[in-house]
């Protein structure tokens, strides 16, 4: 697995739209339609849709 990266503002807004606390997540991979993020505490990996907004 690649080294996780810090989130940009758009990525933080996207995680907030998915009801996730962006402080607990880091970016693993970005594709055309989703972000793959990893939880800093548990190590759980999640796919989040890029285009979902509030």
User: Per-residue pLDDT tens for 2-44?
Assistant: 799 999 999 999 999 999 999 999 999 999 999 999 999 999 9
List residues bridging with 48 in a β-sheet: 35
- Give residue limits of the domains in the chain: 9-49
pTM, 2 dp:
0.86
Token pair 């997540």: residue:
25
Place of tokens 């796919």: 47
């Amino acid at each position: 697995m690649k080294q996780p990266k810090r989130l940009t503002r758009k990525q933080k807004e996207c995680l907030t739209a998915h009801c996730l606390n962006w402080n607990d997540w880091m970016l693993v991979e970005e594709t055309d339609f989703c972000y793959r993020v990893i939880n800093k505490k548990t190590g759980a990996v999640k796919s989040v849709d890029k285009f979902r907004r509030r």
